[in-house]
Structure 1
Amino acid sequence: MLLLLLLLLLLLLLLLLLLLLLLLLLLLLLLLLLLLLLLLLLLLLLLLLLLLLLLLLLQLLLLLLLLLLLLLLLLLLLLLLLLLLLLLLLLLLLLLLLLLQLLLLLLLLLLLLLLLLLLLLLLLLLLLLLLLLHHHHHHHHHHHHHHCSR
């Protein structure tokens, strides 16, 4: 009878031990599962961080591209302004040249007019001289004639 009791007790103890082992195993499994979940979460977080970094990099690249485009536009505008200024300068130079030409033409015309006036004056003087000479001669002749008649 006593032996039987002992055997039962032992069996109970064994069962208890088995139960405890099972519980421990379950706990370990749970812990492992938790660890796995944590790892997965960490991986997800890392992936998200990487994505954010990539997005930031993309944004930076886009900003850089925009800045470059703006700089190019500014350079183009400056070039256009320079070209316009050059064109204006050329136009001014051409206008000045035209004005100079006009002035030269005017001077030439004035000189020609002066020459013509001088020529006219000379002609007039010559005519006057001729007239005077002629007149004088005529007068003299007349006088002589008069003298003769006397």
Structure 2
Amino acid sequence: MEMHDEFLEINDLDWFTSCRGGVIAHFATGGPGVVPDDVRQSISRYEEIYDYFYSRPGGVDVEIVEANLVEFADEAQRARYLKSFVEMAGRGLFSHDASEQGGYKLIAKPKSALKLVDLPKLMQSSICKLPLELTDWIRCDDFTKD
């Protein structure tokens, strides 16, 4: 079953893609974030990929992209916000959050990146592949394939 617009509006999604250089990126929609057509094609495939990445062990050192953070009321609020992004980056993924200006901003990055070739063959063939250059800011129109 395909993800329709109503499904995307009521669900906060964490989706994954392989980018240029074979690195893996994580994107959190926060509700309104754009999801590429390749990810939208199948809810069951999305769930398999989601389960795979959430079951991976962590342990990779992480760097926070401080310039992309909003101001927090206190350290506890900052820690709550960063928790899931740091966990994903700790699994070797470049972790992004949806931005109010549209697109996605890089929040946490691994010091040792997981690559597409590191994934099991089934995941290599299932995961969305986009021609993205990973920078601190990704525009939604960057989700189009070359």
Shared fold (TM-score greater than 0.5)?
Answer: no
TM-score range (shorter-chain normalised) is under 0.3
TM-score of the superposed pair, with normalisation by structure 1:
0.15
Select the structure with the greater relative contact order (CA < 8 A; seq sep ≥ 6). Answer: 2
Structure with more of its chain in helix, by fraction: 1
TM-score of the superposed pair, with normalisation by structure 2:
0.15
